Amino acid sequence: MPRTRPLAALPITAVALAVTAALLTGTAQAAETAPPVQRSLILNAFGDAAASYGESLPFLRALSEKVDRTDESAYCRGVVEGTLYGQPVAVVVTGTGGGNSGPCTQEMLGWYSPNIKEVIWAGIGGATPAVGGMYDRAGRVLNNPEVMIGDVCVGTASWSWDLHFSNVNDWAARRNPPSNVYAPSGGWWEMVDAQGNQVAPGFDNVQQFVVADPALADEVLRAAQTTKVPKRPASVTEKIARFHPDKASWRPPTYYSYRECGGEISGDNFWHGASEDRLAREYMSALMRSSGVNPKARPDSIVAFSAMEAVPWMSAVKRWDAKYGTSIPMVVVRSASNYDQVPLQPSGQPVLNKRGKPMTAMQDILLGFDDTSSAYAAAIAAAPVLRMFELRANP
């Protein structure tokens, strides 16, 4: 029997080749057995890969091991891979509006599926100035709990505002004078069937609304309990004071759960006004009841949050799940950068600005989207998400 030549006796070149071959074989075997990387997608509407501004800024500043893949994308404004507390993520800037958030999300599903851990939206939006609204149907100011700019909705649902069920023209033409000052213009279709059962029509070919499983939202809410929030700038306090002059009511930001805010009333048109706020709370409370999120939700007990992106991107994920048999967790985290109506006097007339003029809806919206308010709200929306990743790494 021939003797096996000891490794030490082999030429140095042969030793190197043998070691290299063994390492390559081991690496290949490890690659075959290693589990695929599960990556979290964090979506924002605006910002840049350089982390100089926007909703994406807090995440990109916290991101390690960055790889900018923006140039590879046809539909997204920014795609940066990296890690948060050692966990793989992709921070994705979709662009503002549903026309951008939907296609971008669909592209990211194609990039990263089937190894997507979750999809998280964190950004800014508008909010009703008080829980249950500020005004009753006759225009009287209510003594409801105030909502602060910076308050956050951790939501599981979205409703398409642009497809709202109102019979505005028919009813508006018949009522003279109007009987309800701040009722939704012309009224709306009650979401009950002929037997009086609560329903929320969705239409198979038009994704009217989306409802996600609350498990991920619950995790964000738990993280929010130990989240540190930035100090509120004086300019933001001034905006709160326009609606809530009583300083005793001012408080740090609150994180509302999906049982209190539901999610996002979404649309490519900014809705703004007391009657629109009432209608938005009608929609969301009906969706919350019919979906079982909160069977006791009523328009006068919830907060309505508005933005432009949730229905399209959530619809893309939901349709992907239905096609490929997956169940990708989703959550919408929105911080209020502005209120969804101008402040009104008890008489129903607008509160005048410092120049003695009533503020228009667009002026009010732009005031809420200035750099200070946007940055403050974006930081608060990002805070519980970042804290969640930290807690995952250090349970």
Count: domains in the chain:
1
- Is 17 domain-assigned? no
What six digits make up the tokens of 124? 């800014």
Q: What is the pLDDT of residue 253?
A: 95
Q: What is the pLDDT of residue 343?
A: 83
Please calculate the CA angle 79-85-86 and round it to the nearest 5 degrees.
80
Write the CATH number for 272. 3.40.50.1580
**Bond into 252 cis (ω within 30):** no
Residue 95 belongs to what domain range? Answer: 36-393
- Is 376 domain-assigned? yes
- Is 91 domain-assigned? yes
Q: What is the pLDDT of residue 207?
A: 76
Q: What is the pLDDT of residue 170?
A: 47
Distances 4 to 1, 10, 12, 18, 123 between C-alpha atoms, Å:
9, 11, 17, 15, 67
- Is 24 domain-assigned? no
Residues 6+ apart with CB under 8 A from 184: 166, 275, 276, 278, 279, 282
The pLDDT profile of the chain, 395 residues, written as one tens digit per residue, is 444 334 334 344 444 444 445 444 555 454 456 678 899 999 999 999 999 999 999 999 999 999 999 999 999 999 999 999 999 999 999 999 999 999 999 999 999 999 999 999 999 999 999 999 988 777 778 889 999 999 999 999 999 888 766 544 444 444 555 555 555 444 455 566 667 676 666 666 677 889 999 999 999 999 999 999 899 999 899 889 988 988 988 999 999 999 999 999 998 877 788 878 888 898 899 889 888 899 999 999 999 999 999 999 999 999 999 999 999 999 999 999 999 988 877 776 778 877 888 777 777 777 767 778 899 999 999 999 999 999 999 98
Spell out the SS3 assignment of the chain: CCCCCCHHHCCHHHHHHHHHHHHHHHHHHHHHHCCCCCEEEEEECCECCCCCCECCHHHHHHCEEEEECHHHCCCCCEEEEEEECCEEEEEEECCCCHHHHHHHHHHHHHHHCCCEEEEEEEEEEEECCECCCCECCCCCECCCCECCCCCEEEECEEEEHHHCCCCHHHHHHHCCCCCCCCCCCCCCCCCECCCCCECCCCCCCCCCEEECCCHHHHHHHHHHCCCCCCCCCHHHHHHHHHHCCCHHHCCCCCEECCCCCCEEEECCCCCCCHHHHHHHHHHHHHHHHHHCCCCCCCHHHCCCEEECCHHHHHHHHHHHHHHHCCCCCEEEEEEEEEECCCCECCCCCECECCCCCECCHHHHHHHHCCHHHHHHHHHHHHHHHHHHHHHHHCC
- Is 10 domain-assigned? no
- Is 306 domain-assigned? yes
